[in-house]
Amino acid sequence: HIALYDNDRLDPYDFNTAQRAVMMTLHLPINATHCNDSCSFDYMPPETAKVANKQFFGNESAGIFESIHGEQCCGSNTTIDLSQYTPVIFEPDVGTSRHLYTAMAREIVSQGHPVIVIDHPSDSLVVEFSPTPDTHTVVHQTIKLSPYEPLRPWNTTVTEALTTRIADINFVLHELLTLRHLNDLFPSLTFTHPFSLTPSTPLGIIGHGLGGTVATYLSATDPRFTISINLSGASPPLTSPTTSQILFFGRTGTGSTTPFTRDHAPHWLTTWPLLRGKASELDMLNAGALQFSDLPLVAELA
């Protein structure tokens, strides 16, 4: 995990802040035969775990998210050339945490793809910036968007969240073009080259909820993003056709579970005719809004 500070951009949600800052996690594929040391990691940092306990289990002292830990490679007997890899962006839903997608991101990494997951302050449920000996900054959600509700209406709040996330993504991609942050992120690994991302480098992006909306928008408007997966997110109101590959995962519902398919989700019916590339919809049966995250796995472990 690393905090990145954009000196060229003010935070649109905090006009007292001189610069926009984000927290980012980069998951890297390390071949097991090259890993010579492993270490454990916490699934969530302390304050994030408390807030997530309250959000999903009704009690910040439930101790559920704090009890989850994982193993990762902390040392390699070979150097790493990231110019041979193309990262995948994984965008969380609004009102959640990037940590709630760790297991999903690691599954993608196991297939050989680096994954970047970003927390967008004031949009994310809570963002804990890496503590220093003097500071430990926690930013809670301030914008009035919910992971449980569709993006209705499409208003200035949604537009600002979308444009802010896109600027955050572009900033993070730019910062990963040098070895400086990689060495800070992985001090026990040796990198020969950073990511080599040119305007013609094809990128993939996956997003959940609002993150899915961002994914669809970028694949329709930014030629770098040639494929996107939208997990239960609204479509942005597109006006021009796109040939990108776009996959939409909706969810059917019965009883108290509200359906969210192409026929129910905002803008998908008007957007679909503009998708001139490979476009598909798959629907998960009787799924809730947070089914497309690690939450079902966390609930099972609890």
Q: Got the DSSP string for 153-164? A: S--HHHHHHHHH
Asked if residue 46 is part of any domain, the answer here is: no
pLDDT digits (tens, 9 = 90+) for 181-223: 898 889 888 999 999 998 889 999 999 999 999 999 999 999 9
The structure tokens 């993504």 sit at 169
Element of type H or E holding 39: strand 35-42
Q: Comparing 55-59, 148-152, 275-279, which segment has the lowest mean pLDDT?
A: 148-152
CA distance linking residue 211 with residue 231, whole number of Å: 8
pLDDT above 70 (res 131): no
CA distance linking residue 30 with residue 22, whole number of Å: 25
Average pLDDT over residues 16-41: 88
Query: With left for phi above 0 and alpha for psi between -120 and 50, is residue 168 left, alpha or beta?
Result: alpha
Asked if residue 187 is part of any domain, the answer here is: yes
Residue pair 145/123 in contact by the 8 Å Cβ criterion: yes
Asked if residue 248 is part of any domain, the answer here is: yes
pLDDT above 70 (res 257): no
pLDDT at 102: 97
Amino acid at 201: T
At residue 221, φ and ψ (nearest 5 deg) are: -125, -20
pLDDT above 70 (res 135): no
Which three-class secondary structure state does DSSP give residue 46? helix
pLDDT digits (tens, 9 = 90+) for 136-183: 688 889 999 999 888 878 899 999 999 999 999 999 999 999 898 898
Nearest to 295 by CA among 1, 26, 93, 128: 93
Residue pair 277/245 in contact by the 8 Å Cβ criterion: yes
Asked if residue 35 is part of any domain, the answer here is: no
pLDDT at 283: 93
Asked if residue 67 is part of any domain, the answer here is: no
Range of the domain at 111: 2-28+82-301
Average pLDDT over residues 101-107: 97
Per-residue pLDDT band at 296 (split at 50, 70, 90): very high
Give percent of the chain above pLDDT 90.
Answer: 70
Domain total in the chain: 1
CATH of the domain at 291: 3.40.50.1820
Task: Mark out the alpha helices in 86-189 (DSSP H runs).
Answer: 102-109, 156-175, 179-185
Asked if residue 66 is part of any domain, the answer here is: no
